[in-house]
Amino acid sequence: LAKTTQPISMDSYEGQEVNITCSHNNIATNDYITWYQQFPSQGPRFIIQGYKTKVTNEVASLFIPADRKSSTLSLPRVSLSDTAVYYCLVGLTNDYKLSFGAGTTVTVRA
């Protein structure tokens, strides 16, 4: 399983854009990159998934450079309800297991 490294925590204010970068230097050719959001005492919620370049949905954008050794989750105009732990994971093809790292605790302040 590819190991991921993310910042432990990030602080932001309402209305700002939050960018969380995840390093995954040993990502395999067939691995996808997936981001989840988790609130306290809830299961992780799927945010976005991608393989290369840029993916955008109604919640976030995912930027993946050509070498795929890192990825950046972009949350536009965050609100207080975006305060959560965000996990970056790689895999989902050769090995369906997911290995959760520590995640990034994002705190949004008014």
Partner 1 sequence: GAVVSQHPSRVICKSGTSVKIECRSLDFQATTMFWYRQFPKKSLMLMATSNEGSKATYEQGVEKDKFLINHASLTLSTLTVTSAHPEDSSFYICSAALGQVIPDTQYFGPGTRLTVL
In this complex, which beta carbon is closest to partner 1, that of residue 103 or of residue 106? 103
Nearest approach, Cβ of residue 96 and partner 1 (Å): 5
Nearest approach, Cβ of residue 28 and partner 1 (Å): 12
Q: Tokens 């990034």 identify what position? A: 104
- The site for partner 1 (CB under 8 A) is made up of 30, 32, 34, 36, 41-46, 49, 51, 87, 92-93, 96-103
Backbone φ, ψ for residue 81 (5° rounding): -75, -5
Per-residue DSSP letters for 15-63? Answer: T--EEEEEE-TT--TT-EEEEEEE-TTS--EEEEEESSEEEE-SS-EEE
Nearest approach, Cβ of residue 103 and partner 1 (Å): 6
Pairing relation of β-strands 104-109 and 9-13? Answer: parallel
In this complex, which beta carbon is closest to partner 1, that of residue 97 or of residue 110? 97
Q: How many CB atoms lie under 10 A from the CB of residue 97?
A: 9
In this complex, which beta carbon is closest to partner 1, that of residue 12 or of residue 38? 38
Nearest approach, Cβ of residue 23 and partner 1 (Å): 17
